[in-house]
Structure 1
Amino acid sequence: MSTPRPSNRMPHLIQLRNLKMARSAHAYVRGSTVQFYEWLHSQRGRRLPHGPAIWICGDCHAGNLGPTGDTKGRIDMHIRDLDQTVIGNPAHDLVRLALSLATAARGSDLPGVTTARMLEEMMLGYAQAFNDKPDEAPPRPSQVKAGMRSAVERTWKNLARERIENARPTIPLGKHFWSLSRAEKNAIETLCASDDIHQLVTSLKGRPQAARVELLDSAYWVKGCSSLGLLRYAALLGVGDQDDQEYCLIDIKEAVGAAAPRAPRAKMPRVHRAPKCPATTPDAWWRAPSIYPRRWVSACWPHAFWTTAFSSANCCPRT
C-alpha cells in the first residue's frame, strides 16, 4: 500500500478524521473536544458546580478509559489519555464522560432506562471513590475483570500481529504507519538518543538503567480522531543486547493547548506531577521550521492496545 508523501499528509488526515466522526453520534462526541466545551459554556442560565481545582483528564470519554500498566507491569482500569490534562473543574470530566456514555447507548439502540442506569452507576462510582481506602482495590464488575484478564494475556507478538503485521523489529508502512521526511527521522533519532528517553524506557519492567537503547525504526502514526492532523509518530526501540533484546514502542504526539478551561490562577506544575521539558532543546529536536517543538512522549504497554498506557510523559509546556 502506497502512503502519502510527508508534504501531502494533511488532506488525507482531515478526510480520515471527518469520516471517523461521521460514523456515529458517539464518534462525533469523541472527536469534538473543543466543540464540547463551546457547547457546555453556551448554555445560558445553567452553571456547573465547581469542585476543587485538581488535575482532570480534560477529554474524559469512554474511549479514553481502559487497562493501563505501571512500571512493574501491573494492570488496572484508568484514564489512559493524558495529553489534554489541566488543573480544572472535575465536573467537566463527569459531564464529558456522561455525554459519551449517553451517545454510545443511543447509538446502540438501548432503551432510555438503560442510559439512565449507566449515568446513575457512573455517579455512584464517582461518589464511592471518596470513601474507598487507598490501599484497597474497589469491587469490580465482571465485565471489567474480563477486560483486565484479556489485557494481561496480550504480548508483543499478539500486538505485532494485530497492528504491525509481523513480529520483526520493523514498522511496515501502510494504513496505520506512513513514511517520514528526512528532517523528521533526524529529529526522532535525536530525541530517542536523549537521557530522558533512556530513563523512560529503562524504568519499565525492571530493566537495568545501563541497558543499551537503540532506535530500530520509526514512522508517522495514523491514529486517533480529534488529534488527526497533528503530528504523531511511532518509534520502535530495542532494549538490551542483540541476543536478548526486548522491544519498546514509543508514542510521540504533538502537544497542544488543553481544550478544557483551567482553574483561575492555577499554577501548572512542571515536575513529577505534570509534563516537563526534556533536556533536548526545540532546535535540536525539530530542525524543520514547519514542525512544532512541543511533543508528548509515552511508552506503550502491549495490553494498552498501542494507546497511551504508561504515561511517564515528557513534553514542553503548553501555551
Structure 2
Amino acid sequence: MARDDRIARAKAASREARAPTPAKRGPLLARTRNLKMARSAHAYVRGSTVKFYDWLEARPSSLPSGPPVWICGDCHLGNLGPLASATGDVDIQIRDLDQTVVGNPAHDLIRLGLSLACAARGSDLPGVITAQMMEAMVDGYEDALAGDFEAEASHPPMIGAVVREAERRTWKHLAADRLRGAQPVIPIGRRFWPITRTERDEIEAICASDPVRALVTSLKSRSKKDDIRMLDAAYWVKGCSSLGRLRFAVLLEVAGGGDAPGICFLDIKEAIKAAAPRDRDAAMPRDNAERVVAGALALSPHLGQRMASGRLLDKAVFVRELMPQDMKLEIVGLAPAQAMDAARALAGVVGHAHGRQMDGAARKAWIADLSRNRSGALDAPSWLWSSVVDLVAVHEAAYLEHCRRYALGLGQD
C-alpha cells in the first residue's frame, strides 16, 4: 500500500473514531443548531420557524384569507434557489418543503418579507430600502400571479448568473461539495457521522423499495431493470431548524445494460408535523412524508419529480436524489438596486408557485385582496408591512437573547 494511501486511511479511521455514537448525537446536534442560529439575525430567522408562527398568531391585526393553496410554510431566502428537473432543466424554485401545507399564501409573503428585511439589515442598507423592497416584492408577486405560467422565467443579472452557474455544474462539482472528492465514498468527520448496523439495514431496505427504485431509475434515462446497489451511507449533519431529526446521505450505484454505472446521491430526511397552520377544510395526506412530496409537486415540480416517501426506523421520511445543479441562493452584500431586483424576482418565484394552483377567478380575487389596505406612502399592503416591522423587532430581541444563552463564550463553529 502506498504511503499516501496509508496516511489517508489512518486519518479517515481517526475521524470515524472521534465521531459521535447515535446515543450522543442529540446534544451535539442541539449545540450545532444553536450556534448556527447565533451566526446572524438572518440565520436566527431561518432556524425559528415554529416561533415565527407563534409570534404571528399572537399579533392583534388580522391577515387576509388568501385562496387555500399549497404554501412553502418556511419561505425564507435560503429555501429558494436553482433546482434541476428530472430532464435537466434548471430554474429557481422553492427548494425546501418540510413545512408545506395547504394554507394561506399570505404566510409565505410575510415570511419572505421578514427574510428580505433581515438580508437588507445584514447588507447595511438603510430602512427606506427595506420599505422599497417590500413594494418590489409585492409587485413581483402580483406580476407572477397575472402572468404566463408557461413562459420561460426571466431573472435579473445577479440571479441569472447563479442559474447559469448551476447549469454548468456536473457530478464532479457535487462530489467536491459533498464528498471532498470524486470517489463514491462518504467522508466520516464533521458533516457525516457513522451509522449503526440497524440504520444501515433499514436504509438498504428503503433504497430497495419500489418507490425509491422508481425514483432513481426515472432520472438520467435509466432503466427500471437496472441493478441498484448501496455503496455507502452516513448520518448527515445538515440544515438548521431540522437538526435533530433523522437525516442520512446515501450513495447508490445504478448499473444495467451497456451503460457505465451511474452514482446517485440520495438525501433521506425525517418528516414531522408542520408548524405552518393548515386550512381546516383542506384535504392533505395524513402521513407527513407524503404531505411533503405532495407539496413539492404542487410548488416546485423540479424537486417534486425527484422525491419519494417511505418509512425508516418507524418514522416517516422522504427521499430525494440530489442533482449537481441544486444550489442555495446566497443573497449577501446587496446594493440597493440588487436588493430591489432580488425582492421582485424571488417574490415572482413564489407567485408562480402559488398561482399555478389557482384558477383565473381565484388569482384575480387574490390580486384584488393584495391591492387593498395600501397607504399613500407605501405601495404594499399595510398588513404585510406592519407584520414585517413587528417581526423584525421581535426576532432581533430574540436573536440577541439566543446569542447570550447559547453562544456567549463558546465561539462559533
**Aligned partner (choices 102, 111, 114) of residue 96 of structure 1:** 111
Aligned residues: 298
**Aligned partner (choices 39, 42, 63) of residue 55 of structure 2:** 39
* Structure 1 consecutive aligned stretches of length 4 or more whose deviation exceeds 3 Å: 269-280
Show CA shifts across 1:183-237 (max 9, x none).
1111101100111111001111222222222111100000000001111001111
Q: TM-score, normalised by structure 1?
A: 0.88
Amino acid at match of 1:94: L
Structure with the bigger percentage of helix? 2
- CA shift in 2, pair 1:220/1:305, >3 Å: farther
Does the aligned pair in 2 maintain the 1:67–1:148 contact within 8 Å?
yes
Amino acid at match of 2:317: R
Does the aligned pair in 1 maintain the 2:82–2:328 contact within 8 Å?
no
Taking the TM superposition and a 5 Å limit, the aligned residue runs for 1:76-91 are: 76-91=91-106
Name the CA distance, whole Å, in 2 between partners of 1:83 and 1:62: 15
Show CA shifts across 1:59-98 (max 9, x none).
1100000001111010000101112110000000010011
Q: Which residue of 2 aligns with 1:67?
A: 82
- CA shift in 2, pair 1:5/1:294, >3 Å: same
Name the CA distance, whole Å, in 1 between partners of 2:328 and 2:186: 13
Amino acid at match of 2:19: T
Amino acid at match of 2:35: L
Q: Which residue of 1 aligns with 2:124?
A: 109
Q: Which has the higher contact order (CA 8 A, sep 6+)?
A: 2
Q: Which residue of 1 aligns with 2:269?
A: 253
Report deviation, 1:279: 9.0
Name the CA distance, whole Å, in 2 between partners of 1:275 and 1:112: 34
Q: Which runs of 5+ in 2 are unaligned?
A: 1-14, 298-306, 330-413
**Aligned partner (choices 149, 156, 167) of residue 164 of structure 2:** 149
Q: Which residue of 2 aligns with 1:17?
A: 33
**Aligned partner (choices 286, 293, 301) of residue 315 of structure 2:** 293
Which moved further from structure 2: 263-272 or 76-85?
A: 263-272
Does the aligned pair in 1 maintain the 2:309–2:319 contact within 8 Å?
no
Q: Specify the structure having the higher radius of gyration (Cα).
A: 2
Percent identical pairs in the alignment equals 51
Q: Which residue of 2 aligns with 1:313?
A: none
Amino acid at match of 2:230: L
Name the CA distance, whole Å, in 2 between partners of 1:5 and 1:149: 41
Report deviation, 1:13: 0.4
Taking the TM superposition and a 5 Å limit, the aligned residue runs for 1:80-229 are: 80-229=95-244
Name the CA distance, whole Å, in 2 between partners of 1:239 and 1:150: 27
RMSD: 2.2
Q: TM-score, normalised by structure 2?
A: 0.69
Show CA shifts across 1:112-156 (max 9, x none).
122222222211111011221122124321112100011111111
Name the CA distance, whole Å, in 2 between partners of 1:75 and 1:105: 27
Show CA shifts across 1:6-33 (max 9, x none).
1110111000000000111100000000
Which moved further from structure 2: 156-165 or 13-22?
A: 156-165
